[in-house]
């Protein structure tokens, strides 16, 4: 088994080193070098949007969570509550929707390192997964259903590595093997060179130092995690302490008042609400009205992000894997 493991890692490393990274973040090899030179010569401040081309891995934010319905606050369908797992499963563990009222305890994932975990009574609203790495991170969650042997901590660590733009070759063996099972070769190639590798450290530090406090906190967390991944020495507990801030979250800029358990009307026609217990476990309720256009269609929770009404808190990527199973 060890020989096979070493062979797989060696083969993948060889493939990746021979394959140019996809242009996920634009041509930052040239851009980063040029901006670094300009910055040194002119002393101009360079914004993070210019360094990354406004192409963050996950961009979903509160402004994308436009589906909440205050008129349904406190509403409980007058139907027996059923387990969502009683429905037929489709591709990637998605659920084939039927009329009724359902509950599911999902494995969920932190999508915003350097922010607070849930727990302050904030409401969470549906939004789609958006950003330059949206397809990759969605596919990781989808493919994880067929790989129950890959535990939630490993998947979370891989997601953090992508969000921090860590190098594939610097990840530990467990993360490399998980990535090989959950991602395509082309997608793996995008991890071989993170965009921020091409930005001079002094330029990146200048940008982080000039950012607003909340953004600076998140950027520092990403930088610390990236260094941990690239250094090859880290534990899940160490990553988690950096990514998830403990204690009650302050009221973030742009936050809105939303009670816990507010329903969102999904564009496909069903109602959904999210109540997290920490970032890794979200209770989800689904209400499908009789005669709804969504009956018979797939519900793929891997495309969902539960967005907090308090911008100081974690965005939570959902999955089709059941928590605690």
What is the residue-level pLDDT of the chain in tens, covering all 325 positions? 445 454 444 444 444 433 333 332 333 333 334 334 334 433 444 455 544 445 678 999 999 999 999 999 999 999 999 999 999 999 999 999 999 999 999 999 999 999 999 987 899 999 999 998 999 999 999 999 999 999 999 999 999 999 988 888 889 999 999 999 999 988 888 776 554 555 556 666 666 666 666 677 778 888 889 889 988 778 999 999 999 998 889 999 999 999 999 999 999 999 999 999 999 999 999 999 999 999 999 999 999 999 999 999 999 999 999 998 8
| 134 within domain boundaries | no
**Same domain for 263 and 198:** no
Q: Bridge-partner residues for 305, per DSSP?
A: 127, 317
| The pairing of beta strand 109-110 with beta strand 316-317 | antiparallel
Q: Bridge-partner residues for 263, per DSSP?
A: none
pLDDT of residue 120: 79
Q: For residue 70, give Cα distances in angstroms to 73, 264, 275, 307.
A: 5, 9, 16, 16
| 200 within domain boundaries | yes
The parent domain of residue 198 ranges over 2-57+151-245
**Same domain for 201 and 72:** no
| 236 within domain boundaries | yes
**Same domain for 275 and 235:** no
Domain count, the chain: 2
| 144 within domain boundaries | no
| 165 within domain boundaries | yes
pLDDT of residue 234: 86
| 87 within domain boundaries | yes
**Same domain for 46 and 119:** no
pLDDT of residue 104: 98
Helix intervals (H) in the chain: 2-18, 28-42, 48-52, 134-144, 152-163, 173-182, 185-190, 201-210, 213-231, 236-243
Of 197, 226, 245, the one marking the end of a domain is 245
**Same domain for 226 and 95:** no
Of 198, 217, 245, the one marking the end of a domain is 245
**Same domain for 82 and 49:** no
**Same domain for 229 and 196:** yes
Determine phi and psi for 116, rounding to 5 degrees: -80, 145
pLDDT of residue 63: 97
| 190 within domain boundaries | yes
- Tell me the torsion sign for CA atoms 14, 19, 25, 27: positive
pLDDT of residue 198: 52
Q: CA geometry: angle at 174 spanning 169 and 175, to 5°?
A: 55
Of 213, 245, 277, the one marking the end of a domain is 245
Helices (H) and strands (E) in the chain, counts: 10, 13
**Same domain for 191 and 264:** no
Q: Is 74 exposed, middle or buried (0-12, 13-18, 19+ CB in 10 A)?
A: exposed
pLDDT of residue 220: 82
């Amino acid at each position: 088994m060890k020989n096979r493991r070493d062979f797989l890692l060696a083969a993948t490393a060889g493939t990746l080193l021979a394959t140019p990274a996809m242009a996920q973040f634009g041509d930052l090899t040239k851009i980063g070098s040029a901006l670094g030179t300009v910055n040194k010569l002119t002393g101009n401040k360079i914004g993070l949007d210019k360094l990354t081309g406004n192409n963050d891995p996950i961009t979903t934010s509160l402004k994308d969570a436009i589906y909440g319905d205050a008129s349904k606050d406190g509403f409980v369908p007058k139907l027996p509550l059923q387990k969502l797992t009683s429905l037929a499963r489709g591709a990637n563990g998605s659920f084939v929707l039927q009329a009724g009222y359902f509950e599911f305890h999902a494995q969920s994932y932190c999508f915003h390192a350097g922010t607070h975990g849930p727990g302050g009574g904030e409401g969470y609203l549906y939004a789609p997964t958006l950003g330059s790495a949206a397809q990759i991170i969605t596919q990781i969650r989808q493919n994880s259903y067929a790989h129950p042997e890959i535990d939630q901590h490993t998947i979370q660590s891989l997601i953090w590595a992508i969000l921090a733009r860590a190098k594939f070759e610097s990840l530990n063996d467990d993360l490399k093997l998980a990535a090989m099972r959950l991602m395509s070769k082309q997608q793996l190639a995008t991890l071989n060179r993170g965009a921020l590798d091409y930005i001079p450290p002094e330029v990146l530090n200048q940008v982080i130092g000039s950012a607003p406090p909340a953004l600076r906190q998140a950027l520092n967390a990403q930088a610390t995690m990236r260094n941990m991944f690239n250094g090859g020495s880290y534990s899940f507990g160490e990553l988690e302490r950096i990514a998830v801030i403990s204690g009650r979250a302050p009221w973030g800029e742009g936050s809105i008042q939303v009670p816990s358990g507010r329903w969102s009307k999904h564009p496909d026609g069903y109602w959904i609400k999210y109540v997290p217990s920490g970032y890794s476990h979200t209770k989800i309720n689904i209400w499908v009205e009789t005669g709804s256009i969504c009956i018979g269609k797939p519900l793929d929770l891997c495309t969902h992000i539960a967005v907090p009404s308090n911008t100081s808190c974690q965005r939570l990527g959902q999955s089709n894997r059941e928590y605690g199973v």
